[in-house]
Amino acid sequence: MRKSLFTIPLLILLTLPILSLSKQVCNKDDEKVLFKIKQSFGNPYHLASWQKTLDCCQWYNVECDLNTSRIIALTIFQGNISGQIPNAVGDLPFLQTLVLRKLTNLTGTIPSAITKLTRLTMLRLSWTNLTGPVPSFLSQLKNLNFLDLSFNDLTGSIPPELASLTNLGAIHLDRNKLTGVIPDSFGSFKGSTPDLYLSHNQLTGTIPKSLGYLNFTVIDFSRNQLTRDISMFFGPNKTIQIADFSRNSFEFNMSDVAFPASLTSLDVNHNKIFGNLPQSLTGLSFQFLNVSYNRLCGQIPQGGNLQDFTSNEYFHNRCLCGSPLPACT
């Protein structure tokens, strides 16, 4: 008797986690906020699963924490969503992931209400028609490790304050209409050094020397109007792997640059780089190399995998010669 009394509650206890998975009770405050968001988007078909008769943890485009049933992710991708990002988004206090992606009718600016989302680790607002600046208030999202604002119509300059984010793994600001310089502060990221994607903007000026103090892994500054030197990213002790500086106005002597062994992809096509290709390039393992459309001279070093590339990766230089280009005379 005593035994069975004991085993029944034990059975219930054991099956409870399974039951609670299928009968999650959505937080009422979160549900209310999600309805507000749905309404401000004009109750679109894309959010048809957001309805009273379903527990909000079962809705599409959201994710609940299994223990607390609080909304931790809001991900709207490629839907017929029109309007602006509603301020209500800031009222999902447990949100860790906010993704609004490939929504070409999403317009307006990035609302400051987002700064209330202190648990946010991923913010991805990309392939939308957002306008206005990259807000400096994003630096208040201290837990952010992935920031993607690419493929929008953002204008203005890059806020130096972003460098105060200590957990950033990557910053994507590419494919906007950003102007101004790359901030000096980007040489003083504390903690992790993020991959920097700033391509397809209208950035000008020189690269701050301070960026040479850090070990970047991926840099994409292609298709801007940046000038002068990029050699601060290189050197024997650096760890850069992928570097795209193509289609800018970089102008420096490449002869004495020591490219690190970590470098596997280097694209500098369409710049004003002069001097020779250093002999040490033969010691690297390039998967991609493109130095075309510059002002380089002299013999292409023979060896390593430098001859694995075609003449297209070397042509249109001042007097570069040797395989795969025609022999030097």
For ligand NAG, the binding residues (CB under 6 A) are 65-67, 80, 82, 104-105, 107, 129, 213-215, 235-237, 239, 253, 255-256, 269-270, 274-275, 290, 292-293, 312-313
Partner residues linked to 75 by β-bridges: 99
> In the complex with ligand NAG, which residue's Cβ is closer, 20 or 112?
20
What is d(CA 248, CA 230) in angstroms, rounded to the nearest whole number? 11
Q: How far is the CB of 294 from ligand NAG (least distance, A)?
A: 10
Q: How far is the CB of 270 from ligand NAG (least distance, A)?
A: 6
In order of 43, 126, 254, the CA distances from 39 in angstroms are 5, 22, 57
Per-residue tokens: 116: 């209330």
> In the complex with ligand NAG, which residue's Cβ is closer, 27 or 140?
27
Q: How far is the CB of 139 from ligand NAG (least distance, A)?
A: 22
> In the complex with ligand NAG, which residue's Cβ is closer, 118 or 312?
312
Helix (H, G, I), strand (E, B) or coil at 206: strand
Partner residues linked to 236 by β-bridges: none
> In the complex with ligand NAG, which residue's Cβ is closer, 140 or 145?
145
Q: How far is the CB of 171 from ligand NAG (least distance, A)?
A: 18
> In the complex with ligand NAG, which residue's Cβ is closer, 159 or 301?
301
Q: How far is the CB of 162 from ligand NAG (least distance, A)?
A: 19
Q: Does residue 324 have a cis peptide bond before it, meaning omega lies within 30 degrees of 0?
A: yes
> In the complex with ligand NAG, which residue's Cβ is closer, 67 or 329?
67
Q: Which helix (DSSP H) or strand (DSSP E) does residue 190 occupy?
A: none
What is d(CA 126, CA 100) in angstroms, rounded to the nearest whole number? 7
In order of 118, 194, 204, 239, 318, the CA distances from 166 in angstroms are 14, 9, 26, 19, 43
Partner residues linked to 197 by β-bridges: 172, 220
Partner residues linked to 274 by β-bridges: 253, 295
Q: How far is the CB of 3 from ligand NAG (least distance, A)?
A: 28
Helix (H, G, I), strand (E, B) or coil at 218: strand
Q: How far is the CB of 134 from ligand NAG (least distance, A)?
A: 18
Helix (H, G, I), strand (E, B) or coil at 213: helix
Sign of CA pseudo-dihedral 78, 84, 88, 91:
positive
> In the complex with ligand NAG, which residue's Cβ is closer, 137 or 252?
252
